[in-house]
């Protein structure tokens, strides 16, 4: 187990970036504003740097953006093909926050199909500070990273 988070290692960035275009979007699990469990597929998911993932919320005051104001904990899961053809199971846990100062970075980094759902950029960037990432790929075997 690695004692630091590095989303640029273990093919994590390859798994997350443009996962939707490979037919296996990243799913986000969180607790909604009614304190109910919620799942959401996110075509906007992208690795921003070694310890952050960016998502786009098309609404600033409902859904994920509203939920993380009360409970910032969330999980992301991916299972599917990597660009190399290998397959990976990836589970990520972290703390999320809305950060409008990073809207351009996240919006411009997401796939075109997702930008087309919010052409006027009315949404907000969701930044996930990753606490742990674990999984397994066929070629690389199991991996685990933790803060």
Q: What is the pLDDT of residues 72-131, one digit of tens each?
A: 999 999 999 999 999 999 999 999 999 999 999 999 999 999 999 999 999 999 999 999
Domains in the chain: boundaries: 12-146
Question: Looking at residues 5-18, what average pLDDT do you find?
Answer: 94
Query: Rounded to two decimals, what is the model's pTM?
Result: 0.94
Kindly state which CATH superfamily the domain 12-146 is placed in: Electron Transport, Fmn-binding Protein; Chain A (2.30.110.10)
How far from 113 is each of 43, 81, 88, 109, 135, CA to CA, in Å?
8, 19, 23, 12, 27
Q: Distance between CA atoms of 38 and 139, rounded to whole angstroms?
A: 32
């Amino acid at each position: 187990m690695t004692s630091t988070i590095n989303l640029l290692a273990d093919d994590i960035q390859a798994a997350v970036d443009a996962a939707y275009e490979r037919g296996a979007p990243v799913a986000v699990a969180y607790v909604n504003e009614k304190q109910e469990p919620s799942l959401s597929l996110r075509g906007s998911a992208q690795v921003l740097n070694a310890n952050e993932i960016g998502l786009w919320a098309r609404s600033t005051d409902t859904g994920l953006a509203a939920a993380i104001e009360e409970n910032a904990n969330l999980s992301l899961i991916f299972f599917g093909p990597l660009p190399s053809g290998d397959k990976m199971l990836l589970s990520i846990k972290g703390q999320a926050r809305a950060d409008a100062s990073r809207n351009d970075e996240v919006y411009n980094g997401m796939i075109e199909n997702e930008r087309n759902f919010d052409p006027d950029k009315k949404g907000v960037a969701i930044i996930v500070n990753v606490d742990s990432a674990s999984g397994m790929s066929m070629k690389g075997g199991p991996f685990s990273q933790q803060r």
